[in-house]
A and B are shown apart, each in its own frame.
Chain A
Amino acid sequence: MLFAIAHCPLPIASSPLPIPHSPLFTLAWRPMLDPLPVAGAWPLLLIPLSLGISIAYKAVRVGSIGSYPKAVLVMTTQIVLAMIAMGIVANLFVRFVLPVVIPVSP
């Protein structure tokens, strides 16, 4: 939320309505009714998403409650690291491999 306030333009004074992702819009956020005003920080939403998946999946899979918290943490970490790795690979592919395969004239 602080990221959204710091990185977004100020609302136009003449506009009667708050501009999405502006500080005014962030302050007027209605939970569950309006989208979360996270602006550019949306990749961080991967962490709670991975945690929720791990909590539900490992509840069904693990044998005892003793190994449950560790299994959840390990799976959450695996998902987050795998997504970061795939993001890096996709980025390298678009930057370096794709221009070779499909040359773009300047």
Chain B
Amino acid sequence: MIDSSPSNPSTPNRERFVPLAGLLAVLLPGLGHVYLRETWRGVGVAVGVLGLFFGGILIGGIDVVDSKEDRIWFFGQALVGPVAFAVDRYHQSRFKAYEVGQRQRRRTGNPGELRERNPQGVWIWKQSPGAMPPNSKSLGHVNEIGTLAATIAGMLNLIAILDALFHRQTRVEIPPPKEPD
């Protein structure tokens, strides 16, 4: 059944296909439910998904969102929507640079390296004792948990996108167990 209107009181418990709500949910977590006039649900999705995504970055640093070096994980993180692509783009362009004399792959800087432009306008790492690069590569458990949090955020947002796309006006809740008389 196709019904693009945000609410249809005549069919309260039937599943409705709402493409615009799905599209809005893809653009920003929770926006699809706000469009469906379930604001508290949309706010819950936004707080949960964006909290996990940016919480993951807070735990592991911006290094946890990396489409070049952690491609498989980024597939999951990309489900957060344009926010994930913006963070990755910012990471790739503002924090990485090439090895001197190499143009194959950009990488995160190590302690004692300074990021600067060469005469051709290409960002390279230059040895500079005492310097700290613009960000640090995260390792070990902190990297694992940060990456996991950002990826789970994307997977939860997929659930929210599908819920907004195939929307039900009311939810079936499991009733509490009856007390014996």
Interface residues of A (CB under 8 A from B): 16-17, 28, 30-36, 38, 42, 45-46, 48-49, 52-65, 67-68
Q: Is the interface of B mostly helix, strand, loop or mixed?
A: helix
- B92 at interface (Cβ–Cβ under 8 A)? no
The 3 lowest CB-CB distance pairs between A and B, nearest first, are A56-B48, A59-B44, A55-B48
Cβ-defined contact, B57 with A32, below 8 A = yes
Cβ-defined contact, A60 with B160, below 8 A = yes
Whole-angstrom distance between the Cβ of B91 and the nearest chain A Cβ: 10
Whole-angstrom distance between the Cβ of A81 and the nearest chain B Cβ: 18
- B88 at interface (Cβ–Cβ under 8 A)? no
Q: Is the interface of A mostly helix, strand, loop or mixed?
A: helix
Cβ-defined contact, B136 with A60, below 8 A = no
Q: Which residues of A contact B45 (CB under 8 A)?
A: 56, 59-60
Q: Which residues of A contact B100 (CB under 8 A)?
A: none
Cβ-defined contact, A60 with B152, below 8 A = no
- B6 at interface (Cβ–Cβ under 8 A)? no
Q: Which residues of B contact A55 (CB under 8 A)?
A: 44, 47-48, 51
CA A31 – CA B55 in complex, angstroms?
11
Q: Which residues of B contact A30 (CB under 8 A)?
A: 135
Cβ-defined contact, A59 with B61, below 8 A = no
Kindly identify which residue among A34, A63, A64 contacts B172, using a CB–CB cutoff of 8 Å.
A63
Give the interface centre of A34, A35, A42, A57 by most chain B CB atoms within 10 Å.
Answer: A35
Kindly identify which residue among A28, A49, A65 contacts B149, using a CB–CB cutoff of 8 Å.
A49
Cβ-defined contact, B52 with A56, below 8 A = yes
CA A53 – CA B154 in complex, angstroms?
11
Among the stretches B16-24, B119-127, B137-145, the one at the interface with A is: B137-145
- B49 at interface (Cβ–Cβ under 8 A)? yes
Cβ-defined contact, A48 with B40, below 8 A = no
Whole-angstrom distance between the Cβ of B110 and the nearest chain A Cβ: 10
Cβ-defined contact, B58 with A56, below 8 A = no
Contact with A along B15-46 (1 / 0, CB 8 A): 00000000000000010010000001111110
Kindly identify which residue among B61, B112, B149, B171 contacts A52, using a CB–CB cutoff of 8 Å.
B149
Check A35/B153 contact, CB under 8 A, given A53-B52, A59-B41. Answer: no
Kindly identify which residue among A42, A60, A63, A67 contacts B159, using a CB–CB cutoff of 8 Å.
A60
- B134 at interface (Cβ–Cβ under 8 A)? yes
- B114 at interface (Cβ–Cβ under 8 A)? no
